[in-house]
Amino acid sequence: MREEPIWQHPITDEAVLPGPSNPLGTRWIGFLVQGDYHIGIHGTNQATLIGEAVSHGCVRMLNQDIQTLYSHVKLGTPVIVNP
């Protein structure tokens, strides 16, 4: 779990620091790690694309919504994702 996360491109390793250009938005709640592969719930810098298949498997939320969720969960909280 991270406030103001740094996004790292999965292919180029380019890092995007926290701010308006960061595709992770303002919060990151990771729930699957397999080696270098990470899946989580996070905010976004492109709210109009929520609901579209544009990520690498993550669940994207509006920044204000992920901030609310982030304040209610703690490390170790079980996560179930249904289609």
22-74 tens-digit pLDDT:
999 999 999 887 777 788 999 999 999 998 988 778 999 999 999 999 999 99
**Domains in the chain, number:** 1
Confirm whether 80 is domain-assigned: no
Tokens (6 digits) for 23: 């595709």
Confirm whether 83 is domain-assigned: no
CATH number of the CATH domain containing 49: 2.40.440.10
Flag whether pLDDT at 82 surpasses 90: no
Tokens (6 digits) for 7: 């996004």
Flag whether pLDDT at 9 surpasses 80: yes
Active site residue 56: no
For the CA atoms of 21, 7, 5, 60, what is the dihedral angle to 10 degrees?
Answer: 80
Q: Which of 38, 42, 56, 72 is catalytic?
A: 42
Confirm whether 81 is domain-assigned: no
Secondary structure letter of residue 71 according to DSSP: H
Q: Which of 38, 56, 58, 72 is catalytic?
A: 58
pLDDT, position 42? 96
- pTM, two decimal places: 0.87
Domain that holds residue 25: 2-72
Active site residue 42: yes
Q: How far is CA 53 from CA 7, 14, 44, 49, 59, in A?
A: 18, 21, 13, 8, 10
